[in-house]
C-alpha cells in the first residue's frame, strides 16, 4: 500500500449536512489536506450507524476541476454530492475530493484543450496523489473497514483512477466510467494505461463502462485495447461499452448504469 502518512493527511468537517433546495441530504462538505497539493474540498456521506463500512472514492471529470463544483453544476455537469449520496444509500462511505490543479491553464476550450503537455501531466499526477490521500485517510477512520476500499472515476477521473490502481494492493476494485484519453499528456494517456504491460500491474478487478455514442477516442481505446486487456488479465473484470447515450449521459448516477456498478462492487466489498 502506498502511504502518505497520517501525520500529513487529515480531514476536517467543514459544515453540517448539506441539505435543502441547493443541497443533497446527508452529504457534508469536508476538507482533505494533502502533503503537496494543498487543502481540497470533498463531499462526504456515510450510511446510518457506526460501521465499519466499506468505502469508495469518487473521482470527477475535467469540467468540475476546471470550472469548480458550482460552476460545473451551473453548466449541467457532475454534482459529486449525488454520487457520494448514492454510495451511502448502497451501504458505502463515499468521499469525492474536488481536484483543482491547473484549473485555469489546462481545460476544455471550444472543442479543443488549452494547456501544455507538462500542465496536463501535472493534472493527472496530482490526481493520483489526491486519490492516494483520500484512500489513506479513509483507511484510518473508525467508521471505515480499511480492508474494503474501492474507487470510481468518470472521464478525467476515470483516467486518474486507472493510473492510481497500478501496483496498488489495498483496493479491492475500481470502476472506470467513460475514462478520458488525455492525449494532451502522452505519459498519462489512456492508451498507455491500457497497454497489456500496464494492466498486468493491476491488483484488483476493474469495471469499464462506456456509452454507445461516447467520444470516438474513448470508444476506440476501450474497444481495441483497454477492454480486452482487462478481461484477459482478470476474469472478474467487467466491460460494457454499449450503454445508451454519450459522454455527458454519465454526469449523474443513472438507472440503467448505476445498479451495474453496485452489482460489480458488491461481491468485492463484502467481508
> Which CATH number belongs to the domain containing residue 190 in this structure?
3.40.50.1820
Task: Identify whether 4 is part of a domain.
Answer: no
Round to whole Å and give the CA distance between 179 and 162: 8
Task: Write down the mean pLDDT value for the chain.
Answer: 92
pLDDT at 15 over 50: no
Task: Identify whether 2 is part of a domain.
Answer: no
φ, ψ of residue 32 to 5 degrees: the values are: -105, 115
The pLDDT value recorded for residue 242 is: 98
Residue 107 pLDDT level (bands cut at 50, 70, 90):
confident
Q: Let me know: does 165 contact 197? Beta carbons within 8 Å.
A: no
Task: Identify whether 122 is part of a domain.
Answer: yes
Task: Identify whether 224 is part of a domain.
Answer: yes
Element of type H or E holding 149: strand 144-154
pLDDT in tens, 131-184: 999 999 899 999 999 999 999 999 999 999 999 999 999 999 999 999 999 999
pLDDT in tens, 46-92: 999 999 999 999 999 999 999 989 999 999 999 999 999 999 999 99
Task: Tell me the three cell numbers of residue 170.
Answer: 489495498
Domain span at residue 260?
Answer: 10-269
Q: Let me know: does 4 contact 35? Beta carbons within 8 Å.
A: yes
Number of structural domains, the chain? 1
Task: Identify whether 1 is part of a domain.
Answer: no
Task: Identify whether 5 is part of a domain.
Answer: no
Amino acid at each position: 500500500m502506498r502511504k502518505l502518512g497520517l501525520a500529513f493527511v487529515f480531514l476536517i468537517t467543514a459544515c453540517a449536512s448539506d441539505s435543502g433546495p441547493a443541497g443533497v441530504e446527508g452529504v457534508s462538505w469536508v476538507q482533505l489536506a494533502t502533503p503537496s497539493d494543498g487543502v481540497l474540498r470533498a463531499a462526504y456521506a456515510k450510511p446510518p450507524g457506526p460501521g465499519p463500512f466499506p468505502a469508495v472514492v469518487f473521482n470527477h471529470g475535467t469540467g468540475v476541476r476546471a470550472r469548480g463544483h458550482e460552476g460545473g453544476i451551473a453548466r449541467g455537469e457532475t454534482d459529486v454530492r449525488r454520487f457520494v449520496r448514492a454510495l451511502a444509500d448502497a451501504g458505502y462511505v463515499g468521499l469525492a475530493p474536488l481536484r483543482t490543479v491547473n484549473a485555469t491553464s489546462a481545460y476544455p476550450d471550444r472543442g479543443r484543450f488549452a494547456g501544455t503537455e507538462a500542465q496536463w501531466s501535472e493534472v493527472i499526477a496530482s490526481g493520483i496523489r489526491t486519490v492516494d490521500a483520500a484512500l489513506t485517510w479513509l483507511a484510518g477512520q473508525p467508521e471505515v473497514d480499511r480492508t474494503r476500499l474501492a474507487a470510481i472515476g468518470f472521464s478525467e477521473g476515470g483516467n486518474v483512477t486507472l493510473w492510481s490502481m497500478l501496483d496498488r494492493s489495498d483496493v479491492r476494485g475500481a470502476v472506470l466510467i467513460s475514462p478520458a484519453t488525455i492525449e494532451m499528456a502522452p505519459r498519462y494517456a489512456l492508451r498507455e494505461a491500457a497497454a497489456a504491460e500496464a494492466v498486468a500491474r493491476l491488483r484488483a478487478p476493474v469495471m469499464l463502462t462506456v456509452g454507445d455514442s461516447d467520444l470516438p477516442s474513448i470508444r476506440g481505446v476501450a474497444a481495441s485495447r483497454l477492454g480486452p486487456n482487462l478481461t484477459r488479465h482478470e476474469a472478474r473484470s467487467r466491460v460494457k461499452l454499449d450503454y445508451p447515450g454519450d459522454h455527458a449521459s454519465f454526469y449523474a448516477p443513472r438507472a440503467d448504469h448505476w445498479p451495474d456498478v453496485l452489482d460489480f462492487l458488491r461481491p468485492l466489498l463484502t467481508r
